[in-house]
Amino acid sequence: MKKSLGMLVGFSLVLFLSGRLCAQEKITLSFAHLWPATHFTHVDQFPRYFKMVEQATKGKYVFDIKWYPVESLLKPVDLFDGVEKGIADTGTSSCGYNPGRFPVMLTLTQPGIAPPKNADAAAHAGFEFYNTLKPKEFDNVKVLYIYATGPGWIHSHKPITKVEQLKGMKIRVTGSGVLGVKAVGGEPVAMPMGEVYLAAQKGIIDALVSPAETLEGWRHAEVFKYSTFMPYFYSEYFWVAMNLSKWKSLPQALQDAFESVAARAVKEAGQIWQYNMKKGEEYAKRQPGGHEFLYLSDDEVQKLVALLKPVEGEYIAQLNSKGLDGQKLVKTAKEIVEKYNRLTYEPWKP
C-alpha cells in the first residue's frame, strides 16, 4: 500500500513538474505595417518571422500578434513615430517615407551610389550596413532587422535601351529616385501607386519606376509592355522595429531569441521578396502580347553612372552638413552592396 502511494505521489509530482516545464507564456504584441492584409509580407514574411522567434525559445513563449495592416492604426509616414511612441509595439515601414529621419540609412537608396542586383543582396547589405554603423537615427527604438525590395525597373510603353531615351519622359517615381530621373533629363511625376494604372492608360505618364513585383501586384503589366532594369534609380530599404520600452520589458530569454533569429529573418525576407519579384516578371510574360525585359549595355550603364555622379556629390555634402562623414558613408555603402552583389542566393520555396 505504502509502495503504491509512493508511486502515485511520485507520478503526480512528475506530471506537475512536467506541466511547469511545458507551460507557455503568451506575449501579446501589436504589429503595424504599410501593406494590405493580402500582401505577401502580411501573409508570409512576418508570421513566419514571429514563428522563428517562438521556435528559438523552444516553446517557452508564444505570440498573440494583433495585426494592423495599411492605415488601420497608423499611416505609412507615421509608422516610425507610432512605434517610437508605443502606439504600436512593433512595426515596419520604408526609410524613404521619413527621409529627414534616416540620412545614414538612405545613403543606400541614392541614385547610382550602391545599386543592388536583387532583393537578396539588398536585404543582406542593408542589415550589415545598419550593424556596421549603428546610426543614431534608430536610437529610440529597438531595430529587429532590416530588409529591402528588389531593385527598380523602368516600366514603359516603348522599349528603353539608351539613356538619352529617358530625356523628356514623364516618369512616375518616388523618394530619392526623383533626383535620378532629373539627372537624365526626365520629368519626375509624383502620384500614389493606386493612380498609376489609369495614368499610364491615359498617357498622363510615359513610364514608372518600381520593382518588378508591381507588374502583378498592381497589374502594371496590363498597361506597360516593356521593363528596363534600373537599380540606379530605385532601391528601397525597410526597418522592422520594436518600441524601446516594450523591448526592455521582455524577458531576457525572449530578447535573446529575437537576436538569435535576426540574420535568418533577413535571409528569408530577401528570398521572399526576390521570389515575388520573379513572380511579377512571370505574370507579365503571360500577358496578351507578352512583355519584354531589357537591360542597358555596359556603355549605356557608364553613361548613366556619369550623369548620376553629381547626385552622389550632393548627398555627400548633405551628410556632411549634418555633421556626418559623407565620404565614408558612401564608400561603406558601395563596398557592402558590392560584396553581396557578388554572391549567389538560394531561392525561396513557399
- 108 pLDDT band, cuts 50/70/90, is very high
Return the C-alpha cell found at 58: 523552444
Q: Which fold has domain 153-234+288-341?
A: D-Maltodextrin-Binding Protein; domain 2 (3.40.190)
Residue 187 has a pLDDT of: 97
pLDDT tens sequence across 294-333: 999 999 999 999 999 999 999 999 999 999 999 999 999 9
Say if CB 336 and CB 126 are below 8 A apart: no
CA dist 171 and 284 (Å) reads 20
pLDDT, one tens digit per residue, over 161-207 is 999 999 999 999 988 899 999 999 999 998 888 899 999 999 999 99
Residue 15 pLDDT exceeds 70: no
Q: For the domain made up of 24-148+235-279, give the CATH fold.
A: D-Maltodextrin-Binding Protein; domain 2 (3.40.190)
Q: Higher pLDDT residue, 18 or 78?
A: 78
- C-alpha 291/C-alpha 282 separation (Å) is 9
Position 9 pLDDT exceeds 80? no
What does the block give as the cell for 268? 528569408
Q: Taking Cα atoms as reference points, which of 150, 163, 159, 94 lies closest to residue 292?
A: 159
Q: Which residues of 33-65 are buried (b: 16+ CB within 10 A; e: fewer)?
A: bbbeeebbbbebbbeebbebbbebbeebbebee
Nearest to 271 by CA among 93, 145, 148, 96: 148
Average pLDDT on 249-271 reads 98
In this predicted structure, which of 13-22, 49-58, 96-105 has the lowest mean pLDDT?
13-22
- pLDDT value for 192: 82
pLDDT of residue 12: 43
Domain boundaries along the sequence of the chain: 24-148+235-279, 153-234+288-341
pLDDT at 18 over 50: no
- The helix/strand/coil state of 27 is strand
* pLDDT of the residue at 22: 55
**Which comes out higher in pLDDT, residue 98 or 248?**
248
Percent of the chain whose predicted confidence (pLDDT) is above 70: 94
User: What value does the mean pLDDT of the chain take?
Assistant: 93
CA-based nearest residue to 132, from 336, 268, 318, 312: 336
DSSP structure class, residue 207: E
DSSP string, 240-255: EEEEHHHHHHS-HHHH
